[in-house]
Chain A
Amino acid sequence: KAGVTQTPRYLIKTRGQQVTLSCSPISGHRSVSWYQQTPGQGLQFLFEYFSETQRNKGNFPGRFSGRQFSNSRSEMNVSTLELGDSALYLCASSPDNYNEQFFGPGTRLTVL
């Protein structure tokens, strides 16, 4: 079974721009979660989608948004980028009714 895939793997943007990151979960997984990982804050939960509905949300500003499609693929968007948004953005998928999560390789975003 293929693992979680994320595209693109690396991204460089400038302040004020917006960015869209994509995640394809493991086949059959309907839950997709997004996390931000930085050296100072560690892994922080952004939001989780299940069957196209946002089921959980972390404490991030409204500039961070996401969506999930009917095939369970998910995208997250960050608008009006700030320098502090530079991070590794990780996507994880879960089987139904299980809390174990399987992570993708991440998208490394650099904001200049």
Chain B
Amino acid sequence: QKEVEQDPGPLSVPEGAIVSLNCTYSNSAFQYFMWYRQYSRKGPELLMYTYSSGNKEDGRFTAQVDKSSKYISLFIRDSQPSDSATYLCAMSALTNAGKSTFGDGTTLTVKP
């Protein structure tokens, strides 16, 4: 079983929709939670970075972490066609700085 499981998708939504992307994990040592966006043939781009439990908002993006359930989410409000990409969740432990464990990614398409 993988340490990080990500809802596989693919996901297709109309422009303006609210998108929910989710990951679960099994390693209790994970304390840092990241979301990356990756466009085709590009490197991942860091979107959100959260330490421990709670919510973090940045513009149209909100990241949620529930450590008790080992569940993290990324919400995208007012989705745009430019949000069409693969979204990757990633996690790391305090004692393993520099080593992130990634989900397999969810491919999102936002249709105009």
| Chain A residues proximal to chain B, CB less than 8 Å | 4, 31-33, 35, 42-45, 48, 50, 55-56, 58, 90, 92, 94, 97-106, 108
Contacts and interface: CB of A to CB of B under 8 A. Distances in A.
Given A31-B98, A50-B98, A94-B98, A101 B43 contact: no
Interface of A is mostly: strand
Given A43-B102, A99-B92, A55 B97 contact: yes
B101 A99 contact: no
Nearest to B92: A99
Interface of B: 32, 34, 36, 41-46, 49, 88, 90, 92, 94, 96-105
24 contacts: A31-B98, A33-B98, A33-B99, A42-B102, A42-B103, A43-B90, A44-B102, A48-B97, A48-B99, A50-B97, A55-B97, A56-B96, A56-B98, A90-B43, A94-B97, A97-B97, A98-B97, A99-B97, A100-B34, A100-B49, A101-B98, A103-B36, A103-B43, A103-B45
